[in-house]
Structure 1
Amino acid sequence: MFASKILAFAKSSLARDASKYNPIKGKTRVGFDRGQPVDIYHEIHGYGEHKVLFITGWAGSCDNWKFQTEYFGRHGDFQVCIYENRGSGFSSAPLKRYRMADMAHDAKELIQHLGWKNVHVVGVSMGGMIAQELALMMPDRVRSLCLASTHAGRAFPPAKYAPMVMSTLAKIALGLEEMKQNVPKMLYSHNWLYSPAPPETGYDTNLEYIQKFHDGRIDERPPQSIAAAFAQFTGILRHYVSAARLRVLAERFEKYSIPAMVVHGTEDCLVHLKNAYDLASNLRARLVVFEGRGHAMNHEDIDTFNSLLLRHFYTAILGKECEAASRAGWQAESSTHSESGGALVLHDQSPLSSARQLLGMIANDPKLYIEWLSAHREALKASH
């Protein structure tokens, strides 16, 4: 008993000053009972009470979540796990089993290895697909769910981006071009790429800054094999979670007050905004739209994305959204409109874009709540 109290005190002390401690890095072997064991590389950041699992996307390394792990790992209330999917980075690359359900099993066994009884799950792109399967696989352990830049399956890129996307993905998968050469145009909005970079970065444009970030991230890891890249991509193409399965999950979330959130950018060239709407509608999740942002909103709008997640986590922890918004630093400055029964919250008075008008027309679900974060905002604004 005395030893457990000492350990609890030590953990609380570390949580209060987590910035002084380096992340714990290692590998966990999973998949023993699925025919082919896989070594999953992972990192643990922070010592807080509340656990967060970040799941990355296709061909991605776990430090795609760098700007989130630095924030939540040093926050004090949270402990973060980031990891690399089978076939990516420092994780091993088996010859088969790259369905989203297979990779969700990997995540489930990793969570079990860590001894986490419940967890806030955040997935982006392919990671969001894995997160859907994971939530269905272990709904009793999911404390909250956030799905960013993703879909439930059978989806196509926006028509205006489709030729570029399919051509680029094919070249990468076949090894004709390197991933890092194409990352910026695939993941970020054009306007953001050619905007001035933050002064502290030392770069003139965001393009120069983010290209350097990805170059370093990719060069630090073993190159992904063509076979592994193709296997992951095939898993994405096969991904499908039916509306019926999502509604089963939605019923559980509503019964136990588990918040679910879908986040999407209007300039995402890989996933159409309509897919985010469908996912949120079937999951009965809050839909948050980043106007003018691309696939990697967590890089383009770091502070906003982190504060959004913080409000989301605190909503699950505290059970009171107003208090959660206050603790996350969100200001109650917005105008609210009802479009055919659905709640559409506009965060400032900027002109309506064509995409926002589309959402206004299709927001006919009385239970769906949409938040629109304007690209013209000068400061973080939100409502509660």
Structure 2
Amino acid sequence: MESSSNLLIAPLSRLDKKTGKEAHFSQRQRQAIRRNGIFSMEKKGVELYYELYGEGKKKVIFVCGLGDPMDDWRRTVLSLLMHEEFEICLFNNRGVRESKFRNVRLTTSQMASDVVELAKFLGWEKINICGFSMGGFIVTELICLKPDLLESAIIVGGSSGRFFPSSYMFKNVSKMLLSRNEEDAREILYKTKISDYHLEHPHPEFGGETGLEFIKRPLSELPFPEDRPPIHTLFAHCLACWTHYVSLERLNEAKKKIDYPILVIHGTDDKIVPFSHGEYIAKHLDAQFYPFHNCGHIVFIEETEKFNDLVTRFFLNLPLPSNEKSIDKLSSFATSQSSSSS
């Protein structure tokens, strides 16, 4: 790690707010930061806060979900850093914490171009990329926008588009945004993100507690952000997700240029982005598909060890662990979309 005098200190104060077991992870993350800074795209009116970890030859960028900060990837980054092959970039999307943007309509295509510009700024000619939720939408756009930039790609809980929230999700998100009680808002949010199975059953990833017991701990002990993004950021990100669409024609055109592996990961019980959307992307990009059974939207929290092992193996070009419950038959959505989309 570089001397602390070479780092922007103010953004790192967030890592001192965690307690208990989570403090152990957050301090390991802080110690691993080699460089951080603000990447400014003046013509776009955009500033992106980023952090670099490791000094390996294999360059990896992680892309966050809707309104989420980079620390969502904490455990995965620490797992990858056990291997000297990696140099990793985390960044906050437009409007999250130190990252700024003009108050204009956002699209996933714009945010995919942010990744292209960030890689260029870092001097990275080829990247490996992993995106979750809205980050998965952005990676799907990036595959079509700049396929020659990529060495490999992982899409977690993603979609090619025509994505509209279910009434269940819309109701819960509305309750969360209107809630004045942080604990109530957090419980609503993570009841939506975590599968019913993991909410109800004790799990080693939750210290032997059920998911519902786990999310009721003090926030400082949890792998979740201490703050909520501004309302205008949430609305801008929501609009980007709801208008996101990568047509079958674009997917087919991108597939002709793809000469690198793609992995699609999706929870079978995802309440936010239906499982069928992951199947659809995997089918039309000829990607490897890895379902996480009994998991919801945040598979990297629900099955941390399994997820980190899978990502590490994929980026190191090692054989993936077998999944005895792999899905052989595509859902009706994935099948029907292939004949109706364009």
Whether contact under 8 Å (2:35, 2:53) holds in the other structure is no
Q: Which runs of 5+ in 1 are unaligned?
A: 1-17, 316-323, 332-345, 365-384
The alignment-based identity, stated in percent, is 28
Which has the higher mean CA deviation after the structures are superposed, 131-140 or 268-277?
A: 131-140
The amino acid across from 1:126 in the alignment is: M
In 1, Cα distance between the equivalents of 2:177 and 2:289?
32
**1:286 equivalent in alignment to 2:294:** no
Q: Map of 1:1-384 to 2, 5 A cutoff?
A: 21-24=31-34, 26-34=36-44, 36=45, 38-156=46-164, 162-173=166-177, 178=182, 180-198=186-204, 204-210=209-215, 212=217, 220-221=226-227, 223-253=228-258, 256=259, 258-315=260-317, 324-325=318-319, 330=321, 347=324, 359=330
Shift of 1:72: 0.7
Shift of 1:182: 2.5
Q: Which runs of 5+ in 2 are unaligned?
A: 1-27, 336-342
Q: How many residues align?
A: 306
In 2, Cα distance between the equivalents of 1:363 and 1:167?
26
Judged with a 3 Å threshold, the aligned counterparts in structure 2 of structure 1 residues 92 and 211 are, in CA distance, closer, same or farther, namely: farther
Whether contact under 8 Å (1:123, 1:131) holds in the other structure is yes
Whether contact under 8 Å (1:180, 1:214) holds in the other structure is no
Whether contact under 8 Å (1:40, 1:90) holds in the other structure is yes
Q: 1:370 corresponds to which residue?
A: none
TM norm structure 2: 0.79
Q: Which has the higher contact order (CA 8 A, sep 6+)?
A: 2
Query: What do residues 15-55 of structure 1 show as CA deviations (whole Å, max 9, x unaligned)?
Result: xxx99952135332333233x2x221222122222111111
In 1, Cα distance between the equivalents of 2:40 and 2:333?
43
Q: Which has the larger radius of gyration?
A: 1
Q: 2:4 corresponds to which residue?
A: none
Q: 2:8 corresponds to which residue?
A: none
TM norm structure 1: 0.71
In 2, Cα distance between the equivalents of 1:210 and 1:174?
19
In 2, Cα distance between the equivalents of 1:213 and 1:76?
34
Q: 1:375 corresponds to which residue?
A: none
SS at 1:117 equivalent? coil
* Cα root mean square deviation, aligned: 3.0
The amino acid across from 2:315 in the alignment is: F
Query: What do residues 165-197 of structure 1 show as CA deviations (whole Å, max 9, x unaligned)?
Result: 111223345566755333321211122133324
